[in-house]
Amino acid sequence: MTDPLQHAAGPAPHPGRRGRRAVDAGDLVERARRGEARAVARLISVVEDAGPAVREVAAALAPHGGRAQVVGLTGAPGVGKSTTTAALVRALRQAGRRVGVLAVDPSSPFSGGALLGDRVRMQQAAGDDGVYIRSMATRGHLGGLAVATPLALRVLDAAGCDVVLVETVGVGQSELDVASLADTTVVLLAPGMGDGIQAAKAGILEVADVLVVNKADREGADRTVRELRAMTLLGSGADRPGAWRPPVCRTVAVRETGSGVEAVLDAVAAHRDWLAASGEGHRRRTRRARREVEAVALDGLRRRMGEVRGSAALHALAERVVAGETDAYRAADELVARL
């Protein structure tokens, strides 16, 4: 008897099936490594589309990573993440660094208009080819970002970026929180929006490697800085020898009156050195890879479940549940075992 599950879980469809151009992953990765912006863009599109070619891309990228420092920027909506990112890009470019920017919007199934606008503005601000800027959204595919974002980071890493800045909204409330992706997490606050106590309540202090009080041109910045400094001193374990104590920076990110961005870059560089010296960098990367493997596995299972839905085998199992010959748990075990 033929097993419809067997068929559903069969070989992946051929890359050309959907009428797309075949992808030569090895060639694209080579070109991206030489700094060809078009190859970088194409690779990230392949990653975002999550088609069959993504496997080859992942394989071709595997030996070429580990150089870039991934810096996550997070904080409440409107706190100034995009403005700060743009300021950091300018400063890093002035220092001759190659920079990647990934703006990730976990809440939107489409590329958000705001993010898109940001991206265009940033590219103009940078005005050169030493910076790659992309925005990513879920495209309505559950688990999609958790799979696509780490791989997009690998693309930018392979392309020779020294630093990749990742902007996301919020902390820890989505399947993809930036702290799990980044080597270094920068948490932004603004005076009057969320003071230190609120930050502590929201669990922000635990994930922050660098704290930034942006909009320091506004009233109340001094107080917020003071409170945060006091809290990082109280923080558990921060006084152990060799521990990292998150510095608190104050910035005005808007270009015309900008200040404090250099200090943020210094803090980020110091954290990079600490990551290397303490071994924490390796631990974080291993943790990141573990989550990535998990996300890919989950994604694969979801897809196979999708293929099984409506299959004759599932129907047969359902009939047996109705007839009282088995129960939903045993039926589910059977189903999963055959995936």
Question: What is the nearest approach in angstroms of ligand GTP to the Cβ of residue 189?
Answer: 11
CA dist 119 and 309 (Å) reads 39
Question: Using CB distances below 5 to 8 A depending on partner kind, what does residue 119 bind out of Mg ion, ligand GTP, none?
Answer: none
**Contacted by 169, from ligand GTP, Mg ion, none: CB < 5 to 8 Å by type:** ligand GTP
Separation CA 133–CA 152 (nearest Å): 11
Q: Please tell me the distance from the alpha carbon of residue 320 to that of residue 325, in angstroms, as a whole number.
A: 5
Residue 83 interacts with which of Mg ion, ligand GTP, none, CB < 5 to 8 Å by class: ligand GTP
Taking the alpha carbons at both ends of the chain, their separation in whole angstroms is 17
DSSP labels, 239-305: TSTT-----EEE-B-STTT-BSHHHHHHHHHHHHHHHHHHSHHHHHHHHHHHHHHHHHHHHHHHHHH
Give the pair of three-digit tokens for residue 339: 């995936």
Stretch that binds Mg ion, among 74-82, 134-142, 175-183, 215-223 (CB under 5 A): 74-82
Helix (H, G, I), strand (E, B) or coil at 45: helix
Residue 82 lies near Mg ion (rule: CB under 5 A): yes
41/114 with CB nearer ligand GTP: 114
**Of 254 and 313, which CB lies nearer to ligand GTP in the complex structure?**
254
CB 81 within 8 A of CB 67: no
**176, interface contact from Mg ion, ligand GTP, none, CB < 5-8 Å by kind:** none
Instruction: Point out which residues bind ligand GTP (CB under 6 A).
Output: 77-83, 114, 169, 214-215, 217-218, 252-254
- Residue number, 5 or 253, with CB nearest to Mg ion: 253
Q: Is 232 in the site for Mg ion (CB under 5 A)?
A: no
Contacting range for Mg ion; rule: CB under 5 A; set: 67-75, 76-84, 182-190, 315-323: 76-84
Nearer to ligand GTP, 114 or 331 (CB): 114
- Between the alpha carbon of residue 196 and those of residues 133, 200, 215, 227, the distances in Å are 32, 6, 15, 5
The half-sphere exposure of 234 on its side-chain side, counting CA atoms within 13 A, is: 10
Residue 149 binds which of ligand GTP, Mg ion, none (CB < 5-8 A, kind-dependent): none
Q: Give the shortest CB-275-to-ligand GTP separation in angstroms.
A: 25
Selected range binding Mg ion among 27-35, 81-89, 92-100, 140-148, rule: CB under 5 A: 81-89
Q: Which amino acid is at 220?
A: G
Residues that bind Mg ion in the complex, under the rule CB under 5 A: 81-82
